[in-house]
Chain A
């Protein structure tokens, strides 16, 4: 069973709209979450990471974390066509986060 579940599998939002992506870990040992963006044919690039309960904002991107439920969400406001990509959520059990467990990802399409 996949230890990191992401939803939805795919998402279409209009340009300028808000995209909301979800991720939950079933491993109670997880303490750290990472969000990556992978454009087609490219390697993933880290967007944001979060370790503490609450919210973290960087530009148009906001990440929430609820450690009790091991649920994190990524919100992209004012979505742009260039945001169209595969968004991967990854979790690790400690700060040595080289050992990441990835979810299957959410494919985001921002329509012009």
Chain B
């Protein structure tokens, strides 16, 4: 079956430091990967959409300078939160879409910033 793994599941970082999270698609080829953030008291916000052979598109309020993303192949994507501060805490979800347009969400990486 198709699965999406995210690592780490939970992480704590000090304010001002950076934290990298990974997303692995298993059982299918992820033609596109979307990264979302669910902040406390907020709904999911799309950070960026990465499609194979296309430039990564960042949504308003999110930048490559703050959230650099790597999507080197059809099964792996990573995103780094640079200079994390309190407002960056939340659940970061990776959503991967296969060639039949079915989307699978990973379990998320929960980021706590101290």
Q: Is residue A100 within 8 Å, beta carbon to beta carbon, of the partner chain?
A: yes
Q: With a CB–CB cut-off of 8 A, which chain B residues contact A97?
A: 97, 101, 103
Which secondary structure characterizes the binding site on chain A?
loop
Contact between A99 and B46 (Cβ–Cβ < 8 Å)?
A: yes
Enumerate A75-97 residues with CB–CB distance to B below 8 Å.
88, 90, 95-97
Closest 6 CB pairs of A and B: A102-B44, A98-B34, A102-B43, A104-B43, A43-B108, A98-B97
Other A-B pairs, 20, CB within 8 Å; known A43-B93, A98-B32: A2-B43, A42-B107, A43-B91, A43-B107, A43-B108, A44-B93, A44-B105, A46-B105, A88-B44, A96-B101, A98-B33, A98-B49, A98-B103, A100-B36, A100-B46, A100-B95, A102-B36, A102-B44, A103-B43, A104-B42
